[in-house]
Structure 1
Amino acid sequence: MDRPAEMFDREYEWAALTRFITDDQAGATLGVVSGRRRQGKTFLLDAACRAAGGFYFGATEAVDAESLRRFSGALTAHARPVTPYHFAHWSEAIDALLALGSERPVPVVIDEFPYLAKANPELPSVIQEAFRPLRDQRTASRTRLLLCGSALSLMGRLLSGNAPLRGRSGLELLVRPLDHRLAAEFWDITDPRLALMVNSIVGGTPAYRREFARGDSPAGPDDFDDWVVRTVLNPETPLFREARYLLAEEPDLRDTALYLSVLGAVADGNATRGGMAGYLERKATDIAHPINVLEDAGLLHRDADVFRDNRPTYRIAEPLIGFYHAIMRPVWDQLERPGSAGRVWQASRRRFASNVLGPHFEQVCRDWVLHHADPDLLGGLPARVGHGVVHDSKARTGHEVDVAVIGIADSGKPPLLAIGEAKWNDVMGAAHVERLHHIRDLITQVGRFDTTRTRLICFSGAGFNDRARELAAASNDLRLIDLAALYGR
């Protein structure tokens, strides 16, 4: 299948779809495609159907009878049978899809499948029966049926545990947001500092530039403030209310006020369950369910503490939602009034740096170590990258480690490949290096990890002073990583 020229990246996803769709083996096969909203799943799947002459159906929120009627009409327009289709049950509709692949492999996409499953909970079981291994209609078909959806909680349940479709799927494809490097390329930003600032607000969601911002990208570092005011904080643009809509579109989020408050607590720096409970003035057990629901929906991410078991912290997975809760939600009434965005933004710059940029920079550093860093720089291939707190019993305090890299344990204790500190606005120097030396000594004393080859890494968005560079030049285990390195420049 020829990849569309206008498609940015998605080479991995396109290759996976190509292998699945063009597989010439006998028998119909089932695939599941999921991902958060606005990532380009519909564009990707529609393009695949066009390239391979397949059938695409986009479901809408409707009662079951109306959806079945719309499906009948769409398939009639595609297949042009002698008599129009009027399916009475979904079992008939699925068999008609299997018939499309009687002569060759044919992709068939049902987009926004959660809408159909919500209106008719028996639909996954109907598909399970249609794809029964020895069923004649399945063995005689080479239809490649792809179920797609943005409701991650429901899509995740389709293939889990004792779900009807468990074991029936031959493809499970997750369409992820673009990483920080690809996002910079997509937004046509060459300045690494500007790229990370933009990424901390809109993340790697393709639709936010093309549709929501109408192609408006900051012209340079001096245009960043104006760009925020004219796009994200502008009531006339779709980006202004997008964070609210993302929450409202999740089917499992019923008590919206509670979920908004949980996200607001995290955005305000309360990353633990106890911190969230204190912020909301509730018991920790009272917020366990909303935390789990937000996790399943892909809006909240749990990070385990590398150094302390059972001490997880949470972060907002979608940057735009984090920006909304940290900057927009506290002054929403003012922002809705035309002409107020500039004044609000200037008053919010410090909070943006501390509550949005700082945490996002730390996460980008962790992602870079896991997905981009040369294993030789780390002294091995990372098996796990996270953060945590190292206890100092002598000083009766805890030291936060922004980046902790655990290697693969061949035998004995797992190797601690590296620990790192990430500072967005600080020019790093000897004090930061000494702090990492001290933390490494504390970890060595505990004896849980092998620290004989642990490297020290300083990440800075503002650069390093001469003393830090001298120490790095004279040391075999100290690395200095700036924004240019994070972006491969």
Structure 2
Amino acid sequence: MRKPAEMFDREYEWSALTRFITDEQPGATLGVVSGRRRQGKTFLLDAACRAAGGFYFGATEATDTESLRRISASLTAHVRPAAPFHFANWSEVVDALFALGAERPVPVVIDEFPYLVRANPELPSIIQEAFRPLRDARTASRARVLLCGSALSFMGKLLSGSAPLRGRAGLELVVRTLDHQLAAEFWEITDPHLALRVNAIVGGTPAYRREFARGDSPRDGEDFDPWVVRTVLNPETPLFREARYLLAEEPDLRDTALYLSVLGAVADGNATRGGIAGHLGRKATDLAHPITVLEDAGLLHRDQDIFRDNRPTYRIAEPLIGFYHAVMRPVWDQLERPGSAARVWKATRRRFVCNVVGPHFEQVCREWTLHHADPDLLGGLPAQVGHGVVHDTAARVGHEVDVAVVGLADGRKPPLLAIGEAKWNDVMGLAHIERLRHIREVVGRAGRYDASATKLLCFSGAGFNDKARAAANADPTIELVDLRMLYGLS
């Protein structure tokens, strides 16, 4: 299968689909493809069907009867039989799909599968029955059936626990957002300072450039503010209301106002469950369910404290939602008025830097450490990368650590490979390094981790002064990481 020239990256996903679809072994096989909305799943699967001569069906919100009528018409147009199909139930549909693979392996895609299940909850059990190991229709076919969906809470449960399809799938593929390096390449931005600010707003979602911003990318650093005004804050563009639609499209979110309030509390810097509850004037126990639902939907992410057990913190997983709650939601009425975007943005840029770019920069530093940093630089392969608070009993204070890297334990006390501090707007100096040295000593005394070889990482979006550079040159345990290094440019 030749990947389309217009498809950016997705090498891993295309290779996985190619191996699954072109597998010559007998018997129909099942695959599940999931991922957050706007990541290009439909484009990916439709391209795979075109490349391999397969069948693609995109479900819609409809009654069960209407969906059966639609797939009957689609399959009739694809196969062109002597008489058109008129399926009475989904068992007939599955058998007809299996028949497509009678002579060769062929992809069969059912996109937006959750819509069909919402109208007919028995559908997973029907498919389970169709994929029984010795069933004749299955063994005589080499159809490669792919179920796809964007409702992460639903798709995550499709193959888990006692779900009917557990153990039936031969492929479970998650189409993820582009990381910060690939996103910069996709947006054709070579300036890392500009790239990170753009990434803090739109993240790595491909559709936000191609469809939602109509290919509009900031030309340089001076064009960043005008770009924000003419795209994200412009009521005429789809990006303007996208954050609201992302929430509304999740089927498990019933009380939208409550979920918006939870996300708003996190965007305001309330990262713990108690902090969120206090911000909303509710009991922490009352928020257990909405927080869990937001996690399952992929909109909220829970991070464990590396240094303290049972002290999780929460962050918004989708940058555009974080930007909406921090910048747009408080002044929504003004932004809806045409011509107000420039004035509003001028007044909210400081909030953008503090509440959006700063936390996003810290998260990018953690992701770079986990996925891009050379293990030799860290002193080993990371087993866990996160952040946390180190309690200094002698001084009776807590030291926040932006980046904490734990290595493989190997049966002994786990090594703390590195601790780091991330500053977006500050030129880092010797004081930052001395602070990390002190924290390293406190961790070593606590005894939970082996801190004898812990590296000190300084991440800065503004650079380092001469004293910091001199200290790094004199001490091999100190690493200075700038934006060019974060973006793989040095």
| 1:59-92 per-position Cα deviation (integer Å, ceiling 9, x unaligned) | 0000110011000000000011111000000000
The CA distance in 1 between the partners of 2:238 and 2:226, in whole Å, is: 17
Query: Following superposition of structure 1 onto structure 2, how do residues 3-402 of structure 1 map, counting pairs within 5 Å?
Result: 3-402=3-402
TM-score (norm 1): 1.00
| Structure 1 residue ranges (4+ consecutive) displaced by more than 6 angstroms after TM superposition | none
Q: SS where residue 166 of structure 1 aligns?
A: coil
Aligned residue type for 1:298: G
The CA distance in 1 between the partners of 2:110 and 2:289, in whole Å, is: 31
The CA distance in 2 between the partners of 1:293 and 1:465, in whole Å, is: 45
The CA distance in 2 between the partners of 1:483 and 1:476, in whole Å, is: 20
Aligned residue type for 1:292: T
Question: Offset at 1:396?
Answer: 1.5
The CA distance in 2 between the partners of 1:103 and 1:411, in whole Å, is: 53
The CA distance in 1 between the partners of 2:94 and 2:321, in whole Å, is: 38
Aligned residue type for 2:163: A
CA RMSD, aligned part only? 0.4
What residue is the counterpart of 2:454 in the other structure?
A: 454
What residue is the counterpart of 2:404 in the other structure?
A: 404
| 1:322-363 per-position Cα deviation (integer Å, ceiling 9, x unaligned) | 000000000000000001100110110111011000000000
Question: Offset at 1:393?
Answer: 1.5
The CA distance in 1 between the partners of 2:249 and 2:403, in whole Å, is: 34
Question: Offset at 1:135?
Answer: 0.4
Gap regions ≥5 residues in structure 1: none
Aligned residue type for 1:266: V
Aligned residue type for 2:315: R
Aligned residue type for 2:86: H
Aligned residue type for 2:435: R
Q: SS where residue 452 of structure 2 aligns?
A: coil
Aligned residue type for 2:224: F
The CA distance in 2 between the partners of 1:272 and 1:234, in whole Å, is: 33
The CA distance in 2 between the partners of 1:194 and 1:81, in whole Å, is: 55
Aligned residue type for 2:305: D
Aligned residue type for 1:170: G
The CA distance in 1 between the partners of 2:49 and 2:274, in whole Å, is: 48
Gap regions ≥5 residues in structure 2: none
The CA distance in 2 between the partners of 1:100 and 1:293, in whole Å, is: 38
| 1:283-337 per-position Cα deviation (integer Å, ceiling 9, x unaligned) | 0000100000000000000000000000000000000000000000000000000
The CA distance in 2 between the partners of 1:190 and 1:470, in whole Å, is: 29
Aligned residue type for 1:322: G
What is the number of residues matched between the two proteins? 489
Q: SS where residue 109 of structure 1 aligns?
A: strand
What residue is the counterpart of 1:423 in the other structure?
A: 423
Question: Offset at 1:411?
Answer: 2.2
Aligned residue type for 2:280: L
Aligned residue type for 2:71: F
The CA distance in 2 between the partners of 1:82 and 1:35, in whole Å, is: 38
Question: Offset at 1:476?
Answer: 1.2
The CA distance in 2 between the partners of 1:173 and 1:201, in whole Å, is: 26
The CA distance in 2 between the partners of 1:343 and 1:360, in whole Å, is: 24
Q: SS where residue 476 of structure 1 aligns?
A: coil
Question: Offset at 1:394?
Answer: 2.0
Q: SS where residue 330 of structure 2 aligns?
A: helix
Q: SS where residue 404 of structure 1 aligns?
A: strand
The CA distance in 2 between the partners of 1:394 and 1:409, in whole Å, is: 28
Aligned residue type for 1:163: A
Q: SS where residue 323 of structure 1 aligns?
A: helix
Q: SS where residue 171 of structure 2 aligns?
A: strand
| 1:354-398 per-position Cα deviation (integer Å, ceiling 9, x unaligned) | 100000000000000000000000000001100000001222211
The CA distance in 1 between the partners of 2:68 and 2:443, in whole Å, is: 61
Question: Offset at 1:224?
Answer: 0.2
